[in-house]
Structure formats: structure tokens, C-alpha cells
Structure 1
Amino acid sequence: MKLDILAELNAERAARRAVILITDTATGDQKLIREEDIEGSDRPDLYDALVRAGRSRPLKEEEGGGFANVLVPPAKLVLVGAVHISQELAPIARRLGYDVTVVDPRTAFATEDRFPDVRLIAEWPDEVLPEIGVDRWTAFCALTHDPKVDDPGLIHAIRKECFYIGALGSRKTHARRVERLTAEGITEAQLARIHAPIGLAIGSQSPAEIAVAIMAQITGTLRLGSDSAKAA
């Protein structure tokens, strides 16, 4: 690998951006496809699919041939609300390789006994989220039902373009949420990115079932795109 390609690859990884290294297996020639260049590239659908899958593989002849080494940042999951659903959701996400953080200023809920082996921050979301590094490779869930806690977190997640944004509550609750966020300058297009009610519509009843529905929706959004993982 040429040093200039290696330097650029390392810079993209350090910035938590996906990158694809394509090697011509016949000649050894290599080219780098950065995440931000995919839309205007020669094969945007292919490169987007590779990044979504997050797996390296040989390319078929009709795909241009060679080998695609796909490097994506480790996904993060930020849960605002140290609630029962979060207790079930955190270990599922960790098994799937997510770096999980739970944020809740309510110290009665945010305890290590309830969330062992998970990064737990008992602070207000608007104060601590900028330090966590919320980004394009972060899934964000607002789960407290308390606008004072959830809304600032949702606004931050929207502005940081998290790949998944979900919020607990009924459609009536979400309608009121939309009014509040609109007043804060959030656009209609940005509001449309919020999955609310959160999770796939599978008839979930218990916190564990709701956690499964949420994690399935997060996975669908990451692998297939937001339109493929909307609740019914």
C-alpha cells in the first residue's frame, strides 16, 4: 500500500468515517473511496451497500472486480433514560458490538447496580452529549417520557445526523414533541427522521420485547436505510 493512501485511510478512520479500499487483484493498484465521496462516485449504490453491510468481500465482474476492504467505525448507541427498557436494550446492543452509553440526570435511576458493565453518565444530556462524540455512526434513543431530558438529546442527535433516532411515546405524545422541537428550529425533514413510536410494530408488551423491537429497527436502519425500518 502506498504511503499516501495509508495516511488518508488512517485519517478517515481517526475521524470515524467509513472508507473502502479497492484493490485490483491482478495489478495490485488501489483506490480509496471515502464516505463523503460515495454520492458523487462512479458506483454510489455499490459503495453505499458495502458500507451498510460493513463487510469486506470480493467484487463481482459486473461490480468492477477486485477486492473491497470495507472499514467502518464501531457503532455507538446512546440511551437517554436509565429505564427498564434501557436495562434490556443495553446488553442486546453490546452483544451486537455497539459501544453503549446511558445518560440520565436522575441519580435514583442511573445506578451501576441497574447498569453493570455499561458506560453510565448521571448528567443532563445537553451538557454531556457533546463530550460523548455523537455522530453519523451513532444510534440515539430518547426513553424517559420527560421533555426536559429527552428534547435536548433529540435536538443534539438530529444536528449530529445520527443514523438512527428514536423516541418513546404514543403518536399523541409525539405530536406534542413535534410542536416543541419545531419551536426550537428543527425542520420538517429533520423531524421525519425520528422513529416515533420507537421500534418495529411487533406487538411488544414487556420492556424486553420493546428492546427487541427497538434493536431490530436500529439494525434495519443501519443495514437497509431509514425507509426500510419504519414502524407500522
Structure 2
Amino acid sequence: MSDIALERMPELALDWHKAGRGAVMATVVETWGSAPRAVGSQMVVSGAGEMEGSVSGGCVEGAVVLEAMELVGSGAAKLLEFGVSDDEAFAVGLACGGRIRVLVEPVGGSLPVALLEDLVAARSARRQVAYVADLEGGARRLAGFADHPDRFRMDRSGVEEDGRTFVHVHNPPLRMLIVGAVHIAQALVPIARIAGHDVSVIDPRPAFGAAARFPGVDIVEDWPDEALAALGLDARTAVVTLTHDPKLDDPAIRATLASDVYYLGCLGSSRTHAKRVARLEEAGFTQDQIARIHAPVGLDIGARGPGEIAVSVLAQITQRLRRG
């Protein structure tokens, strides 16, 4: 099972259904104890028993596949519950066992094709969307951030307090766009990746954005505002400007303030930021817009040097992401 497949279960289910192979989606909806896989983990099963993804790290996949194959072409969903023994849990790297509930839904039955198509389209467009299922009935729908802000903010799928409504959050992957291929960026890129961000570095100066300085990193050599427009700015994107040069930072800041990114941080002292604010006011930006800027960038942890500054920046980004 490939990592790509694990991340693209809705897309795979839709492809298999349209290819006439049959498709059933299995989703972990609840866990207790040391369950091997988190709520929201998914697996797709075809009519021939092919499978991609995982709902248990291997403990109960076989049983889920058999149940799923029986549902191919049918209309009804099925809610399964499994206990994971201590021995099984230990085999997949856990100290003790637990229990999981898995919702098994045939595409074209309890999981309508049109709804799955809408879900796939939203994911492709990097829109925040949730799949909402009534575990005791047939109701299925999609919801947005405003319906479940805390769940989206925390990337937390789960069953609501009513005990029957399952909300499966589909957040776009986190992105960090760094303007300025400077020393701090060299430190920030690897820890941002570890924290789950797709990272691009923007700098029109070839000497700064050389591949030798950022091996394996997506380097965009366009002017910052043009680069940001091409990459796209949305509610799952953080922008950090590090050049300390208004000619490069200001175009990026203006472009970002016109978007709904969740974080904008700018390197520079309080005095530098005061001059930046004056330029933005002169350009027509309001106080509320300017107040979105985190400057000086990063949490005040007394950071010294590129590595510590990078840690403070990532900490502030995480705080903004999770606490709102």
C-alpha cells in the first residue's frame, strides 16, 4: 500500500467505481484505548478484494475486506466494531490493545456517487470540507469550516455528542511559503516539513535560491507577488517573509493581506515593522488588515541565531493554526 494511496482514498474509490471494479469505503469512526489507526483513517476495497489504505495497521484488515466485498453493489452501509488484543496491538507497535468502530460504505449505495464527486472536487480545489454521516440512518452530506470550526482547526474527525453524527474532516495539506532564501529559511524548511507542511521558497535572486543551499526544496525564482499568485493563497497556507528588503517583502505582504491565509509573519525589528505599517497605510490597507501581520516574526522565546528563530516561527504558526 503506497503512501499516496493512503492519502487519496476518496479519489481512488471514485476511480474504481467508475472503472466498474466496485468500490467500498471503510473509515475508522471511533476508537478506544490504543487503537492502531486514528479516527478518519480509511481503506478502499474493490469487488475483487483489492485493497488500498489501512484502518488498523493490519490487525483487522482481513475481516473488513470480507465485510466490504459483501456490500459491493448493495445500498446499505455497515458499522463494524473490533477489539484489538494486546498481542495484535504489540505486533503493530503499540503497548496494549483497544477497540475501533469502522463504517463500511458501498460507493453508489449509502455513499452516493454525486456526493463523492463533490468531495473529490473540493479536495482537488484545496477547499476545507467535511463528510458528515448519520451512523444510525442514511443521511449523508458535505459541510464547511463554519459548521465545525474546532474540528477543522484541530484536524479532528469524530462522532458528535449526539452519538450518531460522524464528521470526517478533509483539510487540504498544510503549506508554508517562505519569501527569502536566507539562513533562517534554511533552518525553517526542514522543521516545517517535519511538522507536516509542504514548503516552497520564493526568491528571485539565483545566488540565494541555489539548489546547493536548499537541496530537494521547491525554489521559485519569480518576483514574490507573482509567485504567490501562481502558487495560490488559501486558508491552509502560511506565508513568512524573511528578506528584510521592502522591495521583496512588501509585494508579498500586500498580496497575502488580500487573501485568507491563516498566518503571515514578517522578519524585522519593531522599528522596521513601524516603517512597514506606514507604507501599508499609504497603500490603502486598513488597521484590521495590517493587524494580521505577526511582526517581529515568531514567538518571543529569546531566540538567537537562525535555528532558534526558525523554532520560534514554527511555534507561532502552530499556535495560530490550532488556536485560531
Q: Common fold, TM-score beyond 0.5?
A: yes
How many Å separate the matches in 1 of 2:176 and 2:121?
Answer: 23
SS at match of 1:162: coil
Q: How does 1:186-201 map to 2 (within 5 A)?
A: 186-201=285-300
Deviation at 1:216, TM superposition (A): 0.7
2:153: which partner in 1? 52
Q: Is the 8 A contact 1:139 1:163 kept in 2?
A: yes
How many Å separate the matches in 2 of 1:151 and 1:121?
Answer: 17
* Length-normalised TM-score, structure 2: 0.64
Larger Rg, first or second structure (1 or 2): 2
How many Å separate the matches in 2 of 1:135 and 1:50?
Answer: 18
Indicate which of 207, 212, 224 corresponds to 1:108. Answer: 207
Query: Are residues 1:9 and 2:9 paired?
Result: no
Runs of 4+ in 1 over 6 A off after TM superposition: none
1:34: which partner in 2? 144
How many Å separate the matches in 2 of 1:142 and 1:173?
Answer: 13
Instruction: Provide, for residues 108-145 of structure 1, a one-character-per-residue CA deviation record: whole Å limited to 9, x for no partner.
Output: 21111111111012221123221112222110001011
Deviation at 1:57, TM superposition (A): 1.8
2:184: which partner in 1? 85
Deviation at 1:3, TM superposition (A): 2.4
Query: Are residues 1:212 and 2:311 paired?
Result: yes
Q: Is the 8 A contact 2:265 2:298 kept in 1?
A: yes
Indicate which of 148, 153, 169 corresponds to 1:70. Answer: 169
SS at match of 1:176: helix
Q: Is the 8 A contact 1:105 1:121 kept in 2?
A: yes
Unaligned runs of 5+ in 2: 1-110
Query: Are residues 1:162 and 2:261 paired?
Result: yes
Q: Is the 8 A contact 1:12 1:34 kept in 2?
A: no
Indicate which of 171, 176, 180 corresponds to 2:270. Answer: 171
How many Å separate the matches in 2 of 1:129 and 1:26?
Answer: 45
SS at match of 2:255: helix
Q: Is the 8 A contact 2:136 2:164 kept in 1?
A: no
How many Å separate the matches in 1 of 2:212 and 2:322?
Answer: 33
How many Å separate the matches in 1 of 2:160 and 2:323?
Answer: 20
SS at match of 1:116: coil
**Which protein has the bigger helix share?**
1
How many Å separate the matches in 2 of 1:161 and 1:190?
Answer: 11
Indicate which of 107, 115, 129 corresponds to 1:19. Answer: 129
* Length-normalised TM-score, structure 1: 0.88
Query: Are residues 1:145 and 2:244 paired?
Result: yes
